[in-house]
């Protein structure tokens, strides 16, 4: 952009900034809704960079440990400093987002209603890589291009501040620009069918109808969450450490096979058996196998509580590896497939790797018909609720980085204690953190020892409850 055009943009933004506080007050319902959505997406206590920060209200509302607001408008930055300059965690800077440089990195970079004003969106996205880590998230929201006639009409009627010329983008346009700039989209969602408050009607339209597939394409506020794409070099990817947690209850006949069939991965692999009040000789077999294979890193322990989740989380608490894996002791998921999961997470193909039993043909009796039907039903439901594809939500094999698990565990209170299995506790937590999910198809085998410990009907009822909790937390509460 030449100097004259650059100055014209600044002048225009300064003019808009002068009247913006009054317009924000008159449209407080919309701005509070946007703030609520960002508070859901960005946990408190993070390092946050806001591009196009305006008067700084949104950045301050996120309660960051370190917050930097950048805006091209000097008037907007002056307002931000006046309103929030006394908060030591916040800093405001007048600069061009497409060219500014900062020798620090942030956990979240947000552009709230900003891309509509950027002269070069792709260049701005590309410039943000230097302030982001592989785990940082870029969050962009913009008006849907379908709303342009409505917004222009509102401006003409004096219901909204006149913005002048803007970039009107479809979600696919934003996703394409992110792709060109080296980002991968991990989440997309539309919000608000009615940006003004009308008692009861706003709740019905924004809290319910806006979440349904038929209606959400017409929502006003389009949110896209993306992550920087970094491919680690082979010498880094192949040298991580791994902890495989194996919860075992009444699985005495599978313990030795779990050791002999699980490959070594990365620099080293430890196997952590967590025995759960078995009625057979599982605990004795675990101790015997540990003595028989001293060349393997094997930890053994018994559960304090009950349920698979309790066992898995106890194993995670004692794990020393950088990568955490869950392997069910029934071995219906072949342990020989675990290196696929290792490569997926180590080479940054995903950050939360989920097994999928519904691609390859299954052995006879590996999964009963009603279980298969429930899996397909819940996979559809959770793909819709979480806005990421899940073909098989109930596969026991799940893999993630320890550092992401620690973040997930710290935010677990948001969902509460509702999941005795732990599968959905992990899935919900990963979705809340906007971790990139990847599913790896596996060949699901029939049991060679013992009986399934899943009760189809009682556990099916629990899954229905989880779907309802997921809808409330991800759809209803975020509106």
State the total domains in the chain.
Answer: 2
* Domain end point (choices 228, 262, 295): 228
Non-local (6+) Cβ contacts of 52 within 8 A are: 70, 71, 72, 97, 111, 112, 113, 114, 117, 118
Q: CA 469, 470, 472 angle in degrees (round to 5)?
A: 65
Q: For strand 398-401 and strand 323-326, is the pairing parallel, antiparallel, or unpaired?
A: antiparallel
pLDDT score recorded for residue 231: 79
Claim to verify: residue 105 and residue 204 sit in the same structural domain: yes
Claim to verify: residue 114 and residue 263 sit in the same structural domain: no
Provide the domain limits for residue 175.
Answer: 3-228
* Domain end point (choices 212, 228, 244): 228
The burial class, CB within 10 Å (0-12 / 13-18 / 19+), for 103 is: exposed
Radius of gyration of the chain (CA): 25
* Domain end point (choices 205, 228, 251): 228
Claim to verify: residue 245 and residue 210 sit in the same structural domain: no
Claim to verify: residue 213 and residue 295 sit in the same structural domain: no
pLDDT score recorded for residue 363: 63
Claim to verify: residue 333 and residue 385 sit in the same structural domain: yes
How many whole angstroms from its chain centre is CA 244?
A: 23
Claim to verify: residue 292 and residue 217 sit in the same structural domain: no
Non-local (6+) Cβ contacts of 398 within 8 A are: 325, 326, 352, 353, 354, 355, 423, 426
Q: How many residues does the chain have?
A: 479
Claim to verify: residue 39 and residue 114 sit in the same structural domain: yes
Claim to verify: residue 411 and residue 302 sit in the same structural domain: yes
Q: What is the CATH number of the domain that holds 270?
A: 3.90.550.10
Distance from C-alpha of 241 to C-alpha of 246, rounded to nearest angstrom? 17
Claim to verify: residue 48 and residue 192 sit in the same structural domain: yes
Q: pLDDT means per 10 residues in the chain (479 residues)?
A: 67 82 88 95 96 95 97 93 93 92 95 90 94 96 89 87 82 92 94 92 90 87 94 91 97 96 97 95 97 97 92 96 96 93 94 86 60 72 83 87 94 78 87 92 70 56 80 78
Claim to verify: residue 83 and residue 204 sit in the same structural domain: yes
pLDDT score recorded for residue 392: 81
Q: What is the CATH number of the domain that holds 12?
A: 3.40.50.150
pLDDT score recorded for residue 357: 81
Q: 146, 155, 64: which is closest to 106 by C-alpha?
A: 64
Claim to verify: residue 159 and residue 204 sit in the same structural domain: yes
Claim to verify: residue 65 and residue 147 sit in the same structural domain: yes
pLDDT score recorded for residue 316: 97
Query: Encoding tokens for residue 438?
Result: 């990847």
């Amino acid at each position: 952009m030449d100097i004259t055009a650059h100055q014209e943009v600044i002048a225009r933004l300064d003019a808009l900034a002068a009247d913006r506080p009054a317009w924000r007050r008159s449209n407080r319902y919309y701005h509070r809704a946007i703030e609520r959505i960002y508070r859901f997406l960005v946990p408190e206590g993070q390092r946050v960079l806001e591009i196009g920060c305006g008067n700084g209200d949104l950045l301050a509302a996120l309660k960051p440990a370190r917050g930097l607001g950048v805006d091209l408008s000097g008037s907007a930055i002056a307002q931000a400093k006046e309103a929030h300059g006394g908060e030591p965690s916040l800093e405001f800077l007048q600069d061009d987002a497409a060219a500014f440089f900062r020798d620090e990195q942030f956990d979240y970079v947000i552009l709230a209603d900003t891309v509509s004003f950027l002269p070069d969106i792709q260049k701005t996205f590309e410039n943000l890589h230097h302030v982001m880590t592989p785990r940082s998230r870029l969050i962009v929201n913009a008006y849907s291009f379908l709303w342009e006639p409505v917004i222009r009409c509102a401006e003409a009627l004096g219901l909204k501040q006149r913005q002048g010329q803007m970039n009107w983008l479809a979600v696919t346009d934003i996703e394409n620009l992110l792709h060109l700039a080296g980002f991968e989209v991990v989440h997309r969602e539309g919000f608000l069918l009615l940006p003004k408050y009308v008692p009861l009607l706003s709740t019905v339209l924004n809290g319910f109808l806006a979440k349904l597939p038929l209606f959400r394409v017409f929502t006003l506020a389009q949110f896209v969450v993306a992550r920087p794409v970094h491919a680690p070099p082979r010498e880094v990817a192949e040298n991580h450490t791994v902890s495989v947690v194996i919860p075992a209850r009444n699985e005495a006949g599978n313990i030795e096979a779990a050791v002999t069939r699980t490959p070594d991965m990365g620099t080293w692999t430890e196997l952590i058996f967590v025995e759960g009040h078995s009625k057979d000789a599982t605990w004795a077999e675990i101790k015997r196998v540990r003595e028989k294979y001293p060349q393997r890193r094997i930890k053994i322990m018994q559960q304090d509580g009950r349920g698979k989740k309790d066992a898995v989380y106890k194993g995670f608490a004692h794990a020393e590896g950088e990568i955490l894996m869950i392997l069910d002791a029934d071995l219906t998921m072949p342990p020989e497939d675990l290196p696929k999961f290792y490569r997926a997470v180590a080479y940054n193909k995903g950050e939360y790797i989920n097994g999928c039993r519904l691609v390859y043909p299954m052995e006879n009796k590996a999964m009963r018909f009603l279980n298969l039907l429930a899996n397909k039903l819940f996979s559809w439901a959770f793909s819709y609720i979480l806005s990421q594809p899940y073909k098989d939500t109930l596969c026991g094999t799940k893999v993630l980085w320890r550092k992401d698990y620690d973040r997930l565990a710290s935010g677990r209170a948001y969902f509460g204690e509702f999941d005795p299995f732990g599968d959905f506790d992990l899935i919900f937590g990963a979705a809340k953190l906007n971790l990139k999910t990847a599913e790896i198809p596996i060949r699901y085998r029939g049991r060679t020892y013992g009986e399934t410990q899943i009760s189809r009907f009682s556990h099916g009822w629990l899954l229905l409850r989880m779907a309802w909790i997921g809808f409330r937390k991800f759809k209803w509460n975020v509106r």
